[in-house]
Amino acid sequence: MSGEFNLIDRYFSHRQENRSDVQLALGDDCALLTVPTGYQLAVSTDTVVLGVHFLADANPADIAYKALMSNISDLAAMGATPAWLSMAISMPKFAQEVENNATLGTDDWFTENWLEAFCDSMFTLANQHNLQLIGGDTTNGPLTITFTIQGFVPSGQAMTRSGAKLGDWLYVSGNLGDSQAGLEVILDPSKSNRPHAQYLVQQHFRAQSRINFSQSLRGLASSCIDISDGLTSDLLHILKRSNVSARLNIDALPVSIQSCDFYGSMAQAQQAALTSGEEYELCFTVPDQYKTEVDKLEATSNENFAKAYCIGRIIAHPELTQQPEIQLYLDDKLLNSNNSSKLLTGFDHFKS
C-alpha cells in the first residue's frame, strides 16, 4: 500500500530483540531463519476478519491478544515452543481529522491510534513468548489480519490429534467455562449483575494458552488438541482422527469458583464447560502407563493454574453406529441421546 514502508518502519520494525535463530527479518524479500538441529518446525495459520470475528467497536488490544493467543495455542496443542511470527494485515485508510468537520466515512473508527494499540498488545504478548515478528505484508483492504506462527518441537515428540487409543484416559488442563460465562455477559448486559461478571468477561478476552504445560505432556500424552471451539467440538476432532470414541464424565469437568457462582450451581457451570470456546485449555489423552505421572502434573506445573484433570476415557465406538461419538455420563450414568443432544448443542440459559 502507499506508504507501506513508512508504516512498517513506524509500527513493526525495531520493536523486538533479534532471536539468534533469525538471520534476517523484516525488510528484504524473505526472512532467513535457522531451525535448531533435532527439531521439527510446527506451523499454523489463523485469520480474523472485521465483522466476522470482531466488531469495529471492540478494543484493538483485545483483538490482537485473542488473534495471536489462538495462534500460540495451536503450537501448545502440539507441544511446540513459539519462535517466529508472520503477519499479513489488510486495512482501510486511516481516518483523518477533517478540517471542515465534514462527516467522516464509515471507517472513521480506524485510526493510527487503533493500529498502535493493536501493535502494542501484539508485541507485548509476542515478547512474553519470545516470539519474533519476522515478516508479513501490509495492504489496503477490509480489515483482515492473518498470523502464521512457527515453533519448534523435538523431532518425533509432537502431540497430534490422531494418537488416541482404546483405554487411554481423557484429560483437560484446567478450568473450563469462564470464557462462555464472560461471553454471556457481553451479549446480555442484564447478566452483568451476576457474581464475578466482570472477572469472567476479562477471562473471555484474556484466556491463556498452555505453552509451558503442554511441553511437560510430551512423551506422556498420546493425543492433544487445544480447546478453541469448545470441549465437545474439539474432542470430536481427536476421536475422528484417532477413530475411537470417548466417555466423558460431566461431573468431573473442572470449573472455577467464579463460574459456579455466576451460574448458581456447579452442575450448571459444568454444563457450560462442555461447549465453552476460546479458552485454550488442552484436551488430551494419556495411556494408562503414564496416568500416575500425568496426575502428578497437577502439583508440579510451572504455569499458573494448569493441572491435569481426568474427565473420562477413550472407548470403542457404540455398537450400533460404529462411528466416533462422545458418550456423556452424569453420576456414573450414561445420559440418553435426547439429554446429550441438549447439552451438546448449547445450554438453555444461553438461548433464552
User: Smallest distance, Å, CB 30 to a copy of itself?
Assistant: 4
- Rounded CA-CA distance 263/189 in Å is 15
> If DSSP codes are grouped into helix, strand and coil, which group holds residue 3?
coil
Enter the C-alpha cell of residue 47: 485469520
Which member of 2, 14, 20, 52 binds a copy of itself (CB under 8 A)? Answer: 52
> What is the nearest approach in angstroms of a copy of itself to the Cβ of residue 52?
5
Rg (CA), the chain: 22
How far does Cα 329 stand from its chain's mean position?
26
Is residue 158 a contact partner of residue 47, using CB atoms and an 8 Å limit? no
Q: Is the CB of 42 or the CB of 294 nearer to a copy of itself?
A: 42
Cell triple for 82? 513459539
The residues facing 82 across adjacent strands are 151
80 binds a copy of itself per the rule CB under 8 A:
yes
Q: Which grid coordinates belong to 50? A: 472485521
Residue 77 lies near a copy of itself (rule: CB under 8 A): yes
Task: Identify which range of 113-121, 139-147, 183-191, 332-340 contacts a copy of itself by CB under 8 A.
Answer: 139-147
Copy the grid coordinates of residue 325. 461419538
Should residue 275 be labelled a site residue for a copy of itself when binding is judged by CB under 8 A?
no
Minimum CB separation of residue 336 from a copy of itself in Å reads 28
136 appears as a binding residue in the annotation: yes
Q: Is 278 known to sit in a ligand binding site?
A: yes
Q: Which is nearer to a copy of itself, 142 or 264 (CB)?
A: 142
- Residue 239 binds to a copy of itself (criterion: CB under 8 A): no
Residue carrying the nine cell digits 464447560: 273
Task: State the nearest-atom distance from the C-beta of 78 to a copy of itself, in Å.
Answer: 5
Q: DSSP letter for 252, please.
A: G
Amino acid at site 57 = D
Whole-number minimum distance, CB 226 to a copy of itself, in Å?
Answer: 6
Say how many residues touch a copy of itself, by CB under 8 A: 58
Check residue 164 for interaction with a copy of itself (CB under 8 A).
Answer: no
Scan residues 175-234 and list those touching a copy of itself (CB under 8 A): 225-226
Rounded CA-CA distance 1/16 in Å is 24
- What are the grid coordinates assigned to 83, written together? 519462535
Q: How far apart are CA 269 and CA 273, in angstroms?
A: 6
Note whether 23 binds a copy of itself by CB under 8 A.
yes
Torsion sign, CA atoms 283, 287, 292, 294: negative
Identify the CA nearest to 224 among candidates 308, 326, 298. 308
Site for a copy of itself in 277-306 (CB under 8 A): none
According to CB under 8 A, which one of 8, 13, 19, 47 is a site residue for a copy of itself?
47
Distance CA 37, CA 45 (A): 24
Q: Does 337 appear as a known binding residue? A: no
Residue 9 binds to a copy of itself (criterion: CB under 8 A):
no
18 binds a copy of itself (CB under 8 A): no
* Contacts of a copy of itself in 89-108 (CB under 8 A): 90
Surface-to-core class of residue 319, CB atoms within 10 Å of its CB (0-12 exposed, 13-18 middle, 19+ buried): exposed
226 is in an annotated binding site: yes
CB 307 within 8 A of CB 297: yes
Instruction: Kindly give the interhelix angle for 197-205 and 60-78, rounded to the nearest 10 degrees.
Output: 70
**Least distance to a copy of itself from the beta carbon of 260, Å?**
30
Q: Which of 10, 241, 291, 317 binds a copy of itself (CB under 8 A)?
A: 241
Residues 57-76 that bind a copy of itself (CB under 8 A): 74-75
- Residues near a copy of itself (CB under 8 A) are 23-24, 27-35, 37, 40-53, 74-75, 77-78, 80, 84, 86-88, 90, 134-137, 139-142, 144, 146, 148, 150-151, 153, 155, 158, 160-162, 225-226, 241
Residues annotated as binding site for substrate? 53, 278, 347
Residues annotated as binding site for ATP? 136-137, 161, 228
